[in-house]
A and B are shown apart, each in its own frame.
Chain A
Amino acid sequence: MNKKNKKTIGKVLFWILVIYLFFFLVFPFYWTINTSLKTENQLLMTPATFVPVDNITDQVSISINNYKAVFLNNTFVNGLKNSLIVAGSVTILCLVIGSFAAFALGKLNFKGKTFSLYLILSMTMFPQISVLTGLYAVINKLHISATPAMIFSYFLFTLPFTIWVMTSFFKGLPKSLMQAANVDGATPLQSFYLILLPLTVPALVTTGLLSFIAAWNEYLFALTFTSIESQARTVPVAMALFTGSIAKQEPFGEIMAAAVVVTIPLLILVYVFQRRLIEGLTAGAVKG
């Protein structure tokens, strides 16, 4: 009887924890959606309401004006396309280049491993702003247009991260795998591509998702590089240019609507890939 009770209590606690976490993670997003459906005057109401309520009639009143404004905003819609191109390219290239490097660092024997790892890491040890000015000067001198400029500069923070995470994954794969493949006559590259890489899919998906989102949300570099090329502007820059009808007015509702519009595709992306996040090693691959 005791054990059963313990189990039930355990289960109940577990579910309380899950629900609390869900609430904690999602509530601000719910609040964002709530805010995006309010007109400005509804936003100013005290106390703040959990559902959009008309400030004069006190009845539930949802306004989609903010969303209309967002979709009519060409810069924003264009920005979605640009962000997709930039973030997508960075992620794919980064995963390719990074996994090659990580394989070398994780599985091959050579001199200078630690040095290489730290050299790669040192690139991310500077605050963004210090790199920005120098980078902008280089880009101007070489007349590089905005989109490639953004793609290349985002490597600065996604590549070291990808390499480090993938390296630790490759290291974690048992030596026996490569040795077995070697015996079967495979070159290191072949065992990399055919055997080891597929086993690191959870890591690939994880770093891919995180890199994609980081590149998608980057603001400072995008703002500077697209300053003259308005058609290359990405979403965060488009959102910074969001203004109300009068200077100094901050159209909070519209910004929140834009945030919702921007986040939903990312969440869909996550949903599509989330199964692959949880892919364990089948017992066979390890033991065999």
Chain B
Amino acid sequence: MLNIKKLTICLVIMLSFITTNVFASGQEEATMMEEDSKTITVAAGAVGTEFELAQDAAAAYMEMHPDVTVEILQTPDLTTDRLGLYLQFFESQSSEVDLYQIDVIWPGDIAEHLIDLNEYGAKEYTDAHFPSIIQNNTVDNRFVAMPWFTDAGLLYYRTDLLEKYGYNEPPTTWDELEMMAEKVMQGERAAGNQDFWGFVFQGNSYEGLTCDALEWVYSYDGGSIVEPDGTISINNPNAIEALEKAAGWVGTIAPDGVTGFAEEDARNMFQAGNALFMRNWPYAYSLGNSEGSAVKDKFGVSPLPSGKNNIRAASLGGWQLACSKYSKNPELAADVLFFFTSYEQQKKRAIEASYNPTIIDLYEDSEVLEATPFFGTLKDVFTSSVARPSTVTAPQYAQVSKVFYENVHDVLTNESTAERAVKNIELDISDIIE
């Protein structure tokens, strides 16, 4: 009898502990919110240096404005997880977060939850940035996100191997790339490296493939899937040619497993010294030159090769900073936003961590070029970058992209012909954005 009583008492205590905790913290939150009416919360990346830099920027702002607190909230690096989190916030119209770091393909999808920065004085700053990004971030004539740092697809190549096999320059056309890759691959394999391949890229069935395939198609003058005016242009002979070309690489100059490669898989191969060419984002540059890397100081970057008419394409990546419509202090938040994305801050990021700025003049700033000389190559790449059709197909970009990369993946794995694939893509996209 005693024991049952003891047990019940224990249970009641535990339950009451939990319930009071529940209500107590509810109360705490309420009082906190009243006091901190001047706190701006920024949802940003959790990545090592990225986080530190964001905190530095916050500290700098707080020094200039002592009555304001800027907090950085860490969010998962995995893009889908981050988007899922943001959507939960928007769905509950939460005012917990004021500024959001958003991917270049999200403005169209979430524009309705963001303020129009032009109403808060953005026009002052926008001219300094790359116009393609500004255009990407303008949805229905509302400018909803300020570019923060950018990314574009690059061709990485092994300088030592090209030299060894008698080439002076990296390839400028895809045909040249194929030729060089075949020759070097044969040679290296004969010399004993059975893990060596010619070209690695992102061939998995995911958003990354949309980036790579867009580059192929665009460089063959095949358009950008859906043009900025809304026409679905993918079903054309040039696009078909581009896709067939890419499918021909799988198993010949690119490993069979390339159809399962994401960015890190490609980088792993290249960095281990097992690939001649790689298509990847700029982040791989400093990693490739890290201590212990097998390719340290043995590689360079150039714009991706062209297919037809000298068109060299690079898919636009990168992150922007946007302000939530549900923020309690939009004016203050916008001010913080402009500070974070300003010339000085972007310069600091470029020098300290090789983040590609979105402000054009920074690519000719001597201090920046001293820290990261290869930025010089990048300016042209960014100026002529091609954006994925996320804004024009919003809010269904995710579906459109999926249709595209799934069908392209089928072509790469030989499950479909390029002709059939583009036909499918055209029909499906027109269903989605009707």
The stretch among B19-27, B218-226, B368-376 that forms the contact with chain A is B19-27
List the A residue with the shortest CB-CB distance to B18.
A148
What is the chain B residue whose CB lies nearest that of A42? Answer: B292
Tell me whether A193 and B88 are in contact (CB under 8 A): no
| B179 within 8 Å of A (CB atoms) | no
Interface residues of A, count at CB 8 A: 47
Stretch of B44-52, B235-243, B301-309, B379-387 that contacts chain A: B44-52
A189 to B7, CA, bound (A): 12
Inter-chain contact A44/B272, CB cutoff 8 Å: yes
Partner of A240, one of B76, B89, B286, B353: B76
CB distance from A46 to the nearest CB of B (A): 4
Task: Report chain B residues within 8 Å CB of A245.
Answer: 47-49
Asked if B73 and A228 make an inter-chain contact with CB atoms under 8 angstroms apart, the answer reads yes
Q: Which residues of B contact A147 (CB under 8 A)?
A: 21
Q: How far is the CB of B36 from chain A (nearest CB, A)?
A: 13
Task: Report B56-87 residues with CB < 8 Å from chain A CB.
Answer: 73-78, 81, 84-85
Chain B interface category by residue count: 35 or more
Contact A240 B47, beta carbon cutoff 8 Å: no
Q: Which residue in B26, B264, B293 is a CB contact (below 8 Å) of A248?
A: B264
Are A247 and B45 in contact (CB-based, < 8 A)? yes
User: Which secondary structure dominates where chain B touches chain A?
Assistant: helix
A144 and B1 within 8 A (CB): no
Which A residues are in CB contact (< 8 Å) with B205?
none
Q: Is the CB of B268 closer than 8 A to any CB of chain A?
A: yes
7 cross-chain pairs, A with B, having the tightest CB-CB distances, nearest first: A143-B26, A145-B25, A44-B272, A41-B292, A245-B48, A243-B47, A46-B195
Interface centre among A40, A41, A47 (most CB of B within 10 A): A41
Contact with B along A148-167 (1 / 0, CB 8 A): 10010000000000000000
- Tell yes or no: A8 within 8 A of B by CB: no
Q: Is B287 an interface residue (CB 8 A)?
A: yes
Q: With CB as the reference atom, state the residue of chain A lying closest to B1.
A: A190
Nearest-CB distance from A256 to chain B (Å)?
Answer: 15
**0/1 interface trace, chain B 87-111, chain A, CB 8 Å (1 if under):** 0110110101100000000000000
Interface members, chain B 297-356 (any A CB < 8 Å): 353-354
Given A145-B26, A224-B85, A224-B88, do A246 and B286 touch, yes or no (CB 8 Å)? yes
Q: How far is the CB of A188 from chain B (nearest CB, A)?
A: 11
Residues of A within 8 A of B74 (CB): 75, 230, 241
A283 in contact (CB, < 8 A): no
Interface residues of A in 95-126 (CB under 8 A from B): 96
Nearest A residue to B46 via CB reads A241
Decide: B46 and A243 in contact? CB cutoff 8 A: yes
Partner of A223, one of B81, B94, B268: B81
Q: What's the least CB distance linking B73 to chain A, in Å?
A: 7
- Which of A45, A140, A151, A228 is the one whose CB lies under 8 Å from B272? A45
Least CB separation from B272: chain A residue: A44
Q: Are A223 and B85 in contact (CB under 8 A)?
A: yes
Given that A144-B22, A240-B78, A243-B46 are known contacts, is A44 also in contact with B287, CB under 8 Å in the complex? no
